[in-house]
Amino acid sequence: MSIQERALVGGYNTFGNQGEANADVKKKYPIINPYTTDLNELNMLRLKASAPRKKFIEAIKKGQIEAPNDLARYVFLGEKGPNLTKMAFPPSPPADSMDYKEVKELLTPVYNRFIKNIQDETTDMPYEPYLKNAHDTYCDQEVFEAEVRALQVNYLIACCTGDVADNRFFQTTMNHKKVLLLKDSKGYHAYNNTVGTAGPDVSNWYAAGDVQDLNLEGLKELPCGVKCGILLVLTHPENLAPEDAMEESLNNKLENVFNKKLQRELSAYGIGKNRATVMQQIAVDANWKMAVDTFGESYHFEKLHATTLKDSFVCNRLVYRSFDDDRDGSPGNSSMVLGRFTMQLLADGDLPEGPENLLSHMIPTFVLAYNTVFFPQPNGVFMSQIWPMDGPGKCMTTLANMSTRLPADQERVVSGFGGILDIFATEDFKILPQMQANFQANKHAETIFGRHEPCLTYRHKLFAKLAELGRIEMRKTAKTPKKVAIASRL
């Protein structure tokens, strides 16, 4: 499928067969915040930018103009023409960066379940509906503070190992700290560079460059480690109880961020060979968990994403998987597999030999380490992180595309990424501030996670566990009032 055709049918995947960047252009990656971080401004900007494409699609649907080819005829009108199969299933060999034999073995049962869900006109529904008080969940200060504490003392995702390859450093902002990451002969390191003495401009949330230009003197090292090509950092070791700051305890935490089954799958994707190509922040006036919630089910595609994902994805069909903590079986990480429109053709039996590359048709969307949405694509990785800000009603989201190779044409990377931002800025994130305001104004407000939202049900049990972990940490490190202070009042 050409880039133009991919753009026409929308979706997350924006990389085509672009030429590779030369050494000078490579230094300009990743492209940081090519668009505004203000949600309202971004919404206006993207509505304007996407208007011609939407108008064109609308005209096809209304029969005012002919569909340009059999692919568009199927996607927008549901009609199957003679060239459809050839156009919908172009050669798509798996990327060299992944262990595709392993990926295929792990994802074939998922693929079969997805196809069966389509054929049976159903979706994964393992849980009963889950009712929660929305005000307590999204607006309560005590819950928020407990969650923040837990996020500070657990390993969270910083970047992929590809971001610090070839003697480059990568600095990002995690839990309000500037965290500088690099690799030397002894391994991977994370430093707290919030004061900015290492060199990079700390006024920006992100920085990158050559390790040789850094001055690491006096910087405090933060616990970090690599799992499956992903760099993980514990940002606030100073908030750990002494017994939890011991090496053995930290190792135990790191080993269990992903369970063994998930480690096998994430390793197979070859994530560590990717590095960020483009990153965009969007500030959202809503609770951080609500932004994570937007990646939780596929029935909303039909209405909320009526002009983006509805036509190019299979609506209200998903395969849900959970990856519980190996130690106690408690909620951990989870995955929602989404299907591109080609999954419907595969379920119809239009390609008897089956797909060449499963990842060209399914998107295994993970929520990892509490605040990171992550999914492998045929030629890269998409990542969205959601960071709590100063109160329960504010968060900062970052959206990033990563790739094993850096395209020569940066403008095309930015414009392609704009198509992804349409989904968030003009649809998903756009409605969150209104939801937050409703929940804030109504203490009795309840929210229900339905049968076809298993990822949300699972995740909100995980978030409840997170808050409880935070409360335990706060009790462990609570200072007893000093006797001197008490004495002075007597």
Pairing of strands 275-284, 31-32: parallel
Q: Is 131 helix (H, G, I), strand (E, B) or coil?
A: strand
- Which of the ranges 113-121, 199-207, 392-400, 428-436 carries the binding residues for Fe ion, by CB under 5 A? 428-436
Taking the C-alpha atoms of residue 308 and residue 426, their distance in angstroms, rounded to an integer, is 10
Beta carbon nearer to Fe ion, 191 or 429? 429
Beta carbon nearer to Fe ion, 265 or 428? 428
Is the distance from CB of 432 to CB of 396 less than 8 angstroms? no
Beta carbon nearer to Fe ion, 335 or 357? 335
Beta carbon nearer to Fe ion, 193 or 401? 401
Q: What is the footprint of Fe ion within residues 25-54 (CB under 5 A)?
A: none
In angstroms, give the least distance from the CB of 334 to Fe ion: 16
Q: What is the footprint of Fe ion within residues 168-227 (CB under 5 A)?
A: none
In angstroms, give the least distance from the CB of 332 to Fe ion: 23
- Which of the ranges 75-83, 178-186, 374-382, 425-433 carries the binding residues for Fe ion, by CB under 5 A? 425-433
Beta carbon nearer to Fe ion, 124 or 428? 428
In angstroms, give the least distance from the CB of 213 to Fe ion: 40
In angstroms, give the least distance from the CB of 297 to Fe ion: 8
Beta carbon nearer to Fe ion, 428 or 473? 428
User: Does 265 participate in binding Fe ion (rule CB under 5 A)?
Assistant: no
- Which of the ranges 268-276, 341-349, 420-428, 464-472 carries the binding residues for Fe ion, by CB under 5 A? 420-428
Beta carbon nearer to Fe ion, 428 or 453? 428
Q: Which two tokens stand for residue 386?
A: 């959601």
- Which of the ranges 59-67, 348-356, 385-393, 421-429 carries the binding residues for Fe ion, by CB under 5 A? 421-429
Q: Which residues of 107-144 are buried (b: 16+ CB within 10 A; e: fewer)?
A: beebbebbbebbeeeebbeebeebebebbebbbbeebb
Nearest to 467 by CA among 136, 131, 144, 138: 144
Is the distance from CB of 209 to CB of 200 less than 8 angstroms? yes
Beta carbon nearer to Fe ion, 311 or 428? 428
Is the distance from CB of 298 to CB of 341 less than 8 angstroms? no
In the shown chain, the binding pattern of residues 227 to 256 toward Fe ion, with x for contact by CB under 5 A and - for none, equals ------------------------------
Q: Is 237 helix (H, G, I), strand (E, B) or coil?
A: helix
Backbone angles phi, psi at 355, to 5 degrees: -75, 150
Taking the C-alpha atoms of residue 228 and residue 314, their distance in angstroms, rounded to an integer, is 30
- Which of the ranges 108-116, 197-205, 333-341, 422-430 carries the binding residues for Fe ion, by CB under 5 A? 422-430
User: Does 70 participate in binding Fe ion (rule CB under 5 A)?
Assistant: no
- Which of the ranges 45-53, 76-84, 426-434, 448-456 carries the binding residues for Fe ion, by CB under 5 A? 426-434
In the complex, residue closest to Fe ion by CB: 428
Beta carbon nearer to Fe ion, 12 or 170? 12
Task: Give residue for tokens 């991919």.
Answer: 6
Question: Count of alpha carbons within 13 Å of 439, Cβ hemisphere only?
Answer: 24
Question: Count of alpha carbons within 13 Å of 320, Cβ hemisphere only?
Answer: 23
What's the full length of the chain, in residues? 490
In angstroms, give the least distance from the CB of 310 to Fe ion: 11
User: Does 428 participate in binding Fe ion (rule CB under 5 A)?
Assistant: yes
Residue 54 DSSP class = H
Nearest to 410 by CA among 278, 274, 280, 273: 278
Residue 55 DSSP class = H
In angstroms, give the least distance from the CB of 428 to Fe ion: 4
Dihedral sign of CA atoms 351, 356, 358, 360 in order: negative
Beta carbon nearer to Fe ion, 160 or 423? 423
Q: Is 448 helix (H, G, I), strand (E, B) or coil?
A: strand
In angstroms, give the least distance from the CB of 305 to Fe ion: 6
Task: Give residue for tokens 């903590």.
Answer: 325
Q: Contacts with Fe ion: how many residues (CB under 5 A)? A: 1
Report the interface residues with Fe ion, using CB under 5 A.
428
